[in-house]
A and B are shown apart, each in its own frame.
Chain A
Amino acid sequence: MQKQEHPHKFMKYLRSERLPHIFCPGCGNGIVMNTIFNAIEMSDKDFDNISMVSGIGCSSRIPGYVKCDSLHTTHGRALAFATGLKIANSQQDVIVVTGDGDATSIGGNHLIHAARRNIDLTVICVNNDIYGMTGGQISPTSPEGSYATTAPYGSTDKPFNISEVAKAAGATYVAKYTTAQPVQVSMAIKDGLQNKGFSLIEVISACPTYYGRKNKIKTPTDMMNWFKQNTITLQQAENMSDEELVGKIVTGVYINKPRKEFVESLDDLIDKYSDIKSEENIKKAYMSD
């Protein structure tokens, strides 16, 4: 009998010639890709109008598999590149895929400033609490006491809460869910895409290969169960003490409060001080005058 081909419904969005991908078995990046495509389809955005930008790390390899214009940049700098890409042609929808190390360690400065400006980017921060690409070192989100190749006695560092940082810095849409909640993640990315401003969706994701192995949560299913057992909502967290919150993943919409978007403010200046509209200058490098 001939083998029947049943391509995945999202295969059309992939650079199929680049498969198989480099992600480990049990990695959360596949679920994240699914939620991104789901979100685009649920939103009013056109896939053909999307450009993706990423930094360095496992999750930053996602845009390389997506059939769109994609800019795989230097470590930590995805938001800086995306800022220029978006300002220079604000008609395109820009999705940034970044990890916990990329966005909050080496790129922490760019994260707070992109959020402060409220530039219209949808940032998907895939947080697996570890550096996967380099083989399992602690990241700024690794829980205190967790093990990594650079924390053989357990991490002594206090971790960042990425969503709280983004919210405090001025992001207008921030949500956090785990890869055990793909529907919620999809909805959040959709809302982020539709928010005209800086949106950050923190996705707590599984790295069984490094985080799991080092911290005795070895299999992908163990990691999923660990997420499920420790996930609480923002509402539940309100009535819990700091001690009770240790080890908990607090999920939900951290902020959804639109305000004036950055490129709109820049374009207002052009409207006020120039006879031409900013859109007349899109792709000006290709014009001969």
Chain B
Amino acid sequence: MEEKELFVQGNEACALGAISAGCRFFAGYPITPSTEIAEIMSKKLPTVGGHFVQMEDEISAVGAIIGASWAGQKVVTATSGPGVSLMQENIGYAAITETPIVVINMQRGSPSTGQPTRSAQADMMQARWGSHGDYEIIALAPSSVQECFDYTIKAFNLAEQYRVPVLVMADEIVGHMREKITIPSEIEVVPRTMPEKVDNYLPFDADDNSTTPMPAFAEGFNVHITGLTHDERGYPSTDDPDVHTKLVTRLCNKILSKRNEMALIETEFLDDADTIVISYGIPSRSALTAVKQAREKGLKVGYIKLGIVWPFPEEKLLELTANASRIIIPELNLGQIYLEVDRVLGKHAKVELISKIGGALHTPDEILSKILEE
């Protein structure tokens, strides 16, 4: 394929990224501000031999993509806050059954119906904790239309690699913004591996901190997949504390133990920085401008952007900020990832939040003013 340049919306870039990653199944339900992804998938998927289905609600949308994933497809759904809330039970099902799925959340003002056409980053904690129980997911946060494309592909690859739900935590601004993007000539795609057919095949016989190759239905494996606590055979085993402890610990540690390895971090001006602005998603745009303006004023300010927010790259961030005494984090919420940054970095640096809600993005001036406060 030849390299291509396009001028598109973030929602469209997500749809194109999904198809480039090999996705041939979309199930979804209309919701602002992510509806364009469903519209584009309904148009494009039949042209590449894929299936689009508009489901009766978001609960069934996640159910359908999990079913299609077990049939052997890479799958995605797209939604926003109210839809994500409905999806939570089945996201937990995907986590315990180790089903690769991608969920795109174009975050909007919330709670409840909130502000359908305005931006927010207020679902960041829900992304990690939204379903009941101990489990881990992966969450990426694109800050540009190009990243909507790149991170969606990355989301599919991570979902396959770790057999886990991956959430693309975009927002209304990045979803509706139009920018020029480059579709590279070569795209790295991680294919699924069919397990070997052996006697006494054990579909969930994974080492600690890892997963197993995922079988497909209709291949003769005769697997049993259940949301109940299950043993290596996939059979329910709900009374044995050891089976439960082993399974749930592994599901969490297969993600947590790779938090630094999979980190997706961009940095600027860190070498001599005593103040560092850490951001993720759309506020990163204003953050970088503000940091550059501070540098022009001769201030020793650095910039870190988290592409993957969950799992949180604790040790990597400690290393990058070891010489900083002050951390500033701008977020479109009342302080969510701030709590995580403070937990990890608060012992050696003063962590300050620039909170903004209501729908508008932080201006570079707002971030610069905070930097200049000290």
Contacts and interface: CB of A to CB of B under 8 A. Distances in A.
Interface of A: 15, 18, 48-49, 51, 53, 63-64, 67-74, 77, 79-89, 91-92, 109-110, 113, 263, 266, 269-270, 272-274, 276-278, 280-289
Contacts, number: 184
23 contacts: A64-B224, A72-B225, A74-B89, A77-B59, A80-B59, A80-B63, A81-B66, A82-B67, A83-B67, A84-B25, A84-B66, A87-B64, A109-B56, A109-B57, A110-B63, A266-B51, A273-B46, A274-B48, A277-B49, A284-B73, A285-B191, A286-B191, A286-B216
A110 B49 contact: no
Contacts of B50: 270, 281
Contacts of A266: 46, 51-53
A236 B230 CA distance: 48
Main secondary structure of the interface of B (DSSP, over half): mixed
Given A74-B227, A278-B49, A286-B193, A48 B67 contact: no
Contacts of A71: 67, 70, 217, 225
A49 B93 CA distance: 25
Q: Which of B71, B193, B217 has the most CB of A within 10 A?
A: B71
Nearest to A69: B217
Given A49-B218, A274-B47, A283 B53 contact: no
Given A89-B72, A274-B48, A284 B24 contact: yes
A283 B191 CA distance: 10
B24 to A, nearest CB: 5
Given A110-B63, A270-B49, 10 more contacts: A49-B218, A69-B222, A69-B224, A74-B63, A80-B64, A87-B51, A87-B53, A272-B46, A285-B22, A285-B191
A87 B227 contact: no
Given A64-B226, A71-B225, A274 B67 contact: no
Interface string B315-331: 00000000000000000
Contacts of A91: 218
B176 interface: no
B55 A83 contact: yes
Contacts of B56: 109-110, 113
B129 interface: no
B27 interface: yes
Given A109-B57, A277-B49, A283 B90 contact: no
Given A73-B227, A80-B55, A288-B189, A276 B66 contact: no
B344 interface: no
Interface in B172-194: 189, 191-194
A86 B25 CA distance: 12
B67 A282 contact: no
Contact of B236 (A64, A86, A276, A277): A64
Contact of A72 (B22, B59, B224): B224
Main secondary structure of the interface of A (DSSP, over half): helix
Contacts of A92: 71, 217-218
Contacts of A83: 27, 53, 55, 60, 63-64, 67
B193 to A, nearest CB: 7
A84 B193 contact: no
Contacts of B133: none
A80 B218 CA distance: 18
Nearest to A81: B67
A79 B56 CA distance: 11
B72 A283 contact: yes
Interface in B216-243: 216-228, 235-236
Contact of A270 (B46, B71, B160, B228): B46
A269 B43 CA distance: 10
A18 B235 contact: yes
A135 B204 CA distance: 31
